[in-house]
A and B are shown apart, each in its own frame.
Chain A
Amino acid sequence: MTELDVAGRLALLERMWLIRAFEEKVSELFARGQVVGLIHLGIGSEGSAVGICSALRDDDYVFGNHRSHAHAIAKGADVDRLMAEIAGKAAGYCKGKGGSMHISAPEVGFVTATGVVGGNIALALGAALTSVTTGDTRVSVAFFGDGAGQSGGLHESLNLAALWKLPVVFVCENNGYAEFSPLSAHTVVERLTDYASVYSIPAVTVDGGDVMEVRRAADHAVARTRAGEGPMFIEVLTHRLRGHYEGDPAAYRELSEREEWTTRDPVARFRAELDEAGVAADTIAATEAAARASIAGAAEFAVAASGPGLDEATTDVYAL
């Protein structure tokens, strides 16, 4: 794939702003009690979500994890319905039955997220199996964190995907923390790409602070796996700028580390890049304004929307 022109790069920046603004708004609504539950925000991982998903076709499949608002938005989910879902409203994608950790927006290829760490990876293999069985060329992406790296599900899935040459791209967002502990407390393996190498899966580590670097790696991986060359693995070094969940004071994290990552913010960095490339300041600023306006609208929509009918507590248990 050729490099993006200015309009294309501005579209990526706007999508990153959409995620940033969405997550900040969720945080705000949570603080006000208008969103409740267990909320995991992806502030700081916009470069990964947008870099990967911008390399996909609309009909490709994405499977998210417990921290997947960003992935759903990057795949094209409607922010009004997504915000309504997180707020537990009838107008949400899942009528409020999924919530923050179980988003499903299949109409845009975001099949499902999961609250079980590592649980979505095998599901992504299944979508890839559908592709190879029906003979279409859709690619399936599983997003997971470094915490899932030590799960049996990942290792079984790497083995099986390689064995069957399934069109899967494994995307490990390594933010350095598995729940409340650093990765070093979970494994002696330093580069999670090593896991892929064991199963002969080509793997690369990229800087999640650089959306274009992520996108280039994704383009390469998606093209290869779509061509039938088997699964690919991308480790994206990223960071969550919030705690594990909303309300987590993140006392286990060094402040200096936080400072360092704030300066590596993928949104600020990409904005600066466009500025250096000579894109007009007004044009750049307009992307943030447009995104924030959309999200303000989404929040208004979600807060005003009606809750699901109480009969929904027991409907959809079985498909009729």
Chain B
Amino acid sequence: MTTELRFIDAIHAGLQASLAADDAVVVIGEDVTYGGPFGATKGLADEFGRHRVRDTPISEATVMGMATGAAVTGLRPVVEVMFVDFITLAMDQLVNHAAKLHFMSGGQLRVPLTVRVQGGVRGRFGAHHSQSLESWFTHTPGLKVVAPAFPGDAKALLEAAIADDNPVVYLEHRGLYWDKGPMHSDPVDGAVVRRPGADVTIVSYSKMVHSALAAAERLAESGVGAEVIDLRWLEPLDTATVFESVSKTGRAVVAHEAVTRGGLGAEIAATIQREAFAELLAPVARVGAAFAPVAAAADLEDAFLPGLAEIERAASSLMTFGPTPA
């Protein structure tokens, strides 16, 4: 029987497996012995000891620097940043040391660091607890970035991140935490085609994959076949899977919850247009949030958040270009 776990419990299982597999793995963060606000680390301190699962003060900058220093001297730390909004406090250490030490040392130092960050819009939390900052990380050479959308990937990709010899930012959308799904032992590299389709490619990651799949259902009702790609890794980016799909469909929508302007969608759109221009029937469309902070009021949060409707609208508009589907 396949094991089904909630996304948050899959993260817990990934941490547990990694702590058990390698004594160099340590978990560091605010309230991690208690389990954190969502329970991802609950019980790990009792199981593995408080020397391997350590609570820190609310000192994000120093915790990130300390984890980096531990990584270059032999540990494999997993840092939890409670909300991605607070990683702003630790960006100096993340960008200037974790990301650069391998390069600046001419390859002498390795930084096997995993940074678990929870974020995204859910729950009317307002502008300091709802952001999607992945473009800051993907714009930084030396960082890897992963954003799972399903519980099975939550476990498998976390274990892969921890085993990686590079700093990996592991993005968790809290809107996914209570989703249930099967665990797997599939390959952890690259993107995955979640739904095949012949007319338009929808490229997405994290929670937006679910909106893309829902939009694809709706599009199918009007006779449009949408292929949905779950990128999983934002760095390194699996452009081969994207190009393969776009060369088949001729149309692409890139969808994310982060603000559209300067977002990862811009990079992917530009790459598609450069590498697959001849195959394109329509301009590449982008779906993302408005260029604004997230408001706390329920109506305003809903108005800000892109989703199914925006993806469906973007895909439909692309269908006005090129031949009508058979």
Residues of A within 8 A of B (CB): 61, 63, 92-98, 102, 104, 106, 111-112, 114-116, 119, 121-130, 132-134, 140, 152-153, 156-157, 159-160, 163-164, 315-319
Contacts and interface: CB of A to CB of B under 8 A. Distances in A.
Contact of B109 (A111, A121, A125): A111
B157 interface: no
A97 B73 CA distance: 20
Contacts of A126: 65-73, 75, 77
Given A123-B97, A133-B26, A153-B65, 19 more contacts: A97-B104, A111-B72, A112-B72, A114-B96, A119-B97, A121-B62, A122-B64, A122-B69, A125-B62, A126-B66, A129-B69, A133-B51, A133-B52, A140-B69, A152-B61, A164-B54, A318-B144, A318-B166, A319-B111
Given A106-B105, A152-B61, A316-B103, A119 B96 contact: yes
B325 interface: no
Interface string B50-86: 0110101101011111111111111101000000000
Given A94-B108, A130-B75, A160-B56, A119 B103 contact: no
Interface string B80-113: 0000000000001100110001111111111100
Interface string B120-162: 0000000000000000000001101000000000000000000
Interface of B: 26, 51-52, 54, 56-57, 59, 61-75, 77, 92-93, 96-97, 101-111, 141-142, 144, 165-166
A92 B203 CA distance: 44
B165 A319 contact: yes
Given A95-B106, A160-B62, A319 B166 contact: yes
A263 to B, nearest CB: 38
B105 A94 contact: yes
A97 B107 CA distance: 9
A35 B59 CA distance: 39
7 contacts: A92-B106, A98-B104, A123-B65, A133-B51, A317-B141, A319-B107, A319-B166
Contacts of A119: 65, 92-93, 96-97
Contacts of A160: 56-57, 59, 62-63, 66
A119 B69 CA distance: 11
A319 B144 CA distance: 11
Nearest to A308: B106
Contacts of B92: 116, 119
B62 A157 contact: yes
Contacts of B74: 130, 134
